[in-house]
Amino acid sequence: MAADLIRVLLILILAYLAYIDLRTFRLPDVITLPLLFAGLVLNAFPSLQFVTLQASVVGAILGYSSLWLLNRLYRYIKMQDGIGMGDAKLLAVLGAWLGWGALPSILFIASTSGIVGGLVWLRLNKQNHQGAFPFGPFLIFAGIIELLWPQLIQNLLLSNPT
């Protein structure tokens, strides 16, 4: 019962973050940082944890550092940022709540849906392919899928149709 309530609250907060990002292109630290801390703390209690504390800590570190490194590489090549650090903090949040093992699925789903959604966003806003669009909602969409249906992508890709 408590785990279900926690999941619902997490989904509501993530949905609110997606709304903020769509409107402002920002993921405020006042929400993401406490959410990161909450994921780490909850996973420290065996009766509440979604994953082990170790998987949670590693997930937070890998979530942030992967997008930070990607942005540094893009900045080195293009001399401008390619992704906001709010997105890196958001992926750290998802890693803290769902563990490092969820990150590949989250990134795959977010990237795939982000390509389609980004093209739609740019067309609706009459921008060219150089225009910016918020990536946070796609990370959130992917995180919610992983929260509700863990390992969905692996199961679909590795299932043996008979």
**pTM assigned to the model:** 0.90
pLDDT, residue 162, reads 57
pLDDT at 159 over 80: no
Amino acid in position 1: M
Domains in the chain: boundaries: 2-158
Question: Which residue in this structure is represented by tokens 């863990």?
Answer: 150
pLDDT tens by residue, 45-88 = 998 899 999 999 999 999 999 999 999 999 999 888 888 899 99
Q: Which two tokens stand for residue 92?
A: 């750290």
Go through 46-84 and write b for each residue having 16 or more CB atoms within 10 A of its CB, e for each that does not: eeebbbebebbbbbbebbbebbbeebeeeeeeeeeeebb
Q: What count of other Cβ atoms lies within 10 Å of the Cβ of residue 142? A: 25
pLDDT tens by residue, 5-47 = 999 999 999 999 999 999 999 999 999 999 999 999 999 999 8
Instruction: Give yes or no for a contact between 89 and 65, defined as CB atoms under 8 angstroms apart.
Output: no
